[in-house]
């Protein structure tokens, strides 16, 4: 599996994904003495019966990558169709975002104010948020390579850029924008826990305050002002516009409000 791992790293996969894919490949090998179309289909049936659809699909994707690596000439497994809800659950609203932001400004907690604003104003994933440095802020953007070595640019809005630089005058270019206790970039877990504490502090439902929730907020607010969904997909790093559409669904409460406003007959 070491050679498979090297192959994945060469193709630009993250270490976390490499670990996941090699685990799936080892699992396949432990259950299938010989790789045939039939044994692959039987393994897929076992995955679907044993795991949630999302986990099964992750394993199937890993297996297909492993088959590509081996040069296997047989079939490739199809993923399991996951039934998507027609509405979003537990996503932060603009009102809740405003409560948190104003509270942090009032208390002078500029560190977490910036964390919240960068999540909501850039559409960055939490793993990407950790990579921001002062140099990125000075440039006004951060370029990152996604899977398949595809370049994506995360823009920092001008007002947020200027405000950040005012607060970080003493920092050098290579310094992380969001350092943790050790001085290195704060961990993803540290960000998630910090957001939960903030929610409790300002009386906002903690279930809607998590890193990815702000990504939903970014997408919904952006498309409301600029209807170019293809541009939004590029900003968010989606290969398919269909993935972007998921972020644009209304919450259940928003659907209820829309129905109550519209239907008067």
Query: Distance between CA atoms of 221 and 224, rounded to whole angstroms?
Result: 5
Q: Is the model more confident about 227 or about 62?
A: 62
Q: Name residues whose C-beta falls within 8 Å of residue 86's C-beta, 6 or more positions apart in sequence.
A: 249
How many residues does this entry show for the chain?
265
Quick: pLDDT tens for 96-114. Answer: 999 999 999 999 999 999 9
What does the pLDDT read at residue 149?
64
pLDDT band at 82 (very low <50, low <70, confident <90, very high): low
CATH class name, domain 2-70: mainly alpha
- Residue intervals of the chain classified under CATH 1.10.150.130 are 2-70
Region 94-262: CATH code: 1.10.443.10
CATH 1.10.443.10 region(s) of the chain? 94-262
Confidence bin at 224 (pLDDT 50/70/90): confident
> What pLDDT score does 248 carry?
75
- Per-residue pLDDT, 243: 78
């Amino acid at each position: 599996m070491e050679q498979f791992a090297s192959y994945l790293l060469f193709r630009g996969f993250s270490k976390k994904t490499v670990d996941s894919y090699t685990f799936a490949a080892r699992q396949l090998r432990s259950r299938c003495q010989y790789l045939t179309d039939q044994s692959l289909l039987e393994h897929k049936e076992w995955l679907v019966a044993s795991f949630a659809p999302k986990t099964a699909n992750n394993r199937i994707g890993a297996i297909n990558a492993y088959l590509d690596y081996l040069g296997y000439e047989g079939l490739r497994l199809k993923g399991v169709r996951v039934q998507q809800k027609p509405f979003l659950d537990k996503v932060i609203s603009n009102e809740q975002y405003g409560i948190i932001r104003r509270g942090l400004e009032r208390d002078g907690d500029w560190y977490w104010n910036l964390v919240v604003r960068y999540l909501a104003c850039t559409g960055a994933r939490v793993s990407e948020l950790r990579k921001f440095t002062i140099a990125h802020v000075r440039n006004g953007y951060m370029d990152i390579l996604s899977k398949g070595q595809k370049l994506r640019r995360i823009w920092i809005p001008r007002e947020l850029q200027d405000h950040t630089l005012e607060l970080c005058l003493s920092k050098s270019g290579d310094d992380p924008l969001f350092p943790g206790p050790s001085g290195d970039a704060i961990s993803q877990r540290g960000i998630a826990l910090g957001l939960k504490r903030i929610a409790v502090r300002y009386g906002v439902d903690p279930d809607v305050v998590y890193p990815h929730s702000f990504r939903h907020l970014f997408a919904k607010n952006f498309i409301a002002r600029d209807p170019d969904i293809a541009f939004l997909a590029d900003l968010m790093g989606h290969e398919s516009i269909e993935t972007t559409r998921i972020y644009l669904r209304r919450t259940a409460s928003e659907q209820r409000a829309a129905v109550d406003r519209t239907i008067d007959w």
